[in-house]
């Protein structure tokens, strides 16, 4: 299955971000991708974290969700909309959900995952605290994608900071996941230090493919994100990546090769703890 990780440098204007995302998704579709993953905050990187509150949508309808559904239909793509701000249930005027939504080529929403682990960082110069405006999720989420190659890919969803919590991905592997998604907006500092090694570790320890779509550049709000969107195979090999700036990372994931790796090294069956 050919897959695409979409890298962006999103700004504060939703319309501009959706226009840029559409062009990148169209490029992926022309290249033969079946599944395209957009980065975290693909639709908006505001000047302030609280800017998300004004853009929130209820699950099931809204301009951004409608755009994702229509784009999936128009391009004949499975699209995972990195994250967008969804209203809490019941609504919370101070917080929104940071949700990743998957849509089929028919424009049907097949999965919704709310980011479970919320990023907090303070090195004396840069400070981030997502819990100030985000409500954390609690439910791991998988969906199935029947690909053109005849394999039904079992896909586990996650977002950015989740990457540091191996137990989430181990739970996905225990439920049969063979592909893991990590739409992200890693900071430059943490990305430079940890991004690739964590992605490869999650692939290796779960013998699963990984698609990591990232924000990558300097944003209007002054924040610099690490980028380096990549696709990793189940042996931990980086199949393709894009360092900085907008771009499309394309790679072929081979279900037969993945099954062979799991047969050669049946580590998932050797678990004793947890």
Q: Which of 256, 227, 236 is nearest to 5 (CA)?
A: 227
- End-to-end Cα separation, the chain, in angstroms: 32
SS3 content of the chain, % helix, strand, coil (to 5): 30, 30, 40
Q: Which of 2, 43, 52, 115 is catalytic?
A: 115
The reply to whether 52 belongs to the active site is no
Residues forming a β-bridge with 36 = 4, 79
Cross-strand pairs, 127: 122
Contact status, residue 86 vs residue 44, Cβ threshold 8 Å: no
Active site residue 115: yes
Determine which one of 2, 34, 40, 244 is catalytic: 40
Q: Is 91 helix (H, G, I), strand (E, B) or coil?
A: coil
Q: Residue 238 belongs to what H/E stretch?
A: strand 238-242
57 is catalytic: no
**What angle, 0 to 180 degrees and rounded to 10, lies between the N-to-C axes of helices 63-75 and 14-30?**
20
Catalytic residue among 2, 34, 52, 160: 160
Catalytic machinery residues:
40, 115, 160
């Amino acid at each position: 299955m050919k897959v695409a990780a979409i890298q962006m440098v999103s700004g504060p204007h939703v319309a501009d971000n959706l226009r840029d995302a559409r062009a990148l998704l169209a490029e992926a579709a022309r290249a033969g991708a079946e599944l395209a993953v957009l980065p975290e905050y693909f639709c908006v990187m505001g000047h302030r974290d609280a800017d998300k509150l004004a853009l929130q949508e209820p699950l099931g309808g809204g301009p951004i969700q409608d755009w994702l559904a229509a784009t999936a239909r128009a391009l004949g793509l499975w699209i995972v909309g990195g994250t967008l701000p969804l209203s809490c249930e019941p609504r919370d005027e101070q917080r929104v959900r940071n949700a990743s939504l998957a849509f089929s080529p028919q424009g049907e929403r097949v999965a919704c995952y709310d980011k479970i682990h919320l990023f907090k960082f303070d090195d004396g110069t840069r400070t981030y605290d997502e819990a100030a405006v985000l409500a954390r999720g609690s439910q791991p989420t998988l969906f199935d994608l029947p690909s053109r190659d005849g394999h039904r890919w079992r896909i586990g969803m996650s977002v950015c900071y989740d990457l540091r919590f191996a137990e989430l991905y181990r739970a996905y592997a225990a439920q049969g996941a063979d592909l893991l998604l990590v739409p992200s907006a890693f900071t430059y500092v943490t990305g430079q230090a940890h991004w690739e090694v964590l992605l490869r570790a999650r692939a290796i320890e779960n013998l699963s493919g990984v698609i990591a779509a990232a924000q990558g550049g300097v944003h209007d709000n002054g924040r610099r994100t690490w980028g380096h969107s990549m696709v990793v195979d189940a042996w931990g090999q980086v199949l393709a990546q894009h360092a900085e700036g907008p771009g499309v990372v394309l790679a072929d994931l081979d279900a037969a090769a993945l099954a062979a790796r799991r047969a050669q090294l049946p580590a998932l069956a050797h678990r004793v703890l947890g």
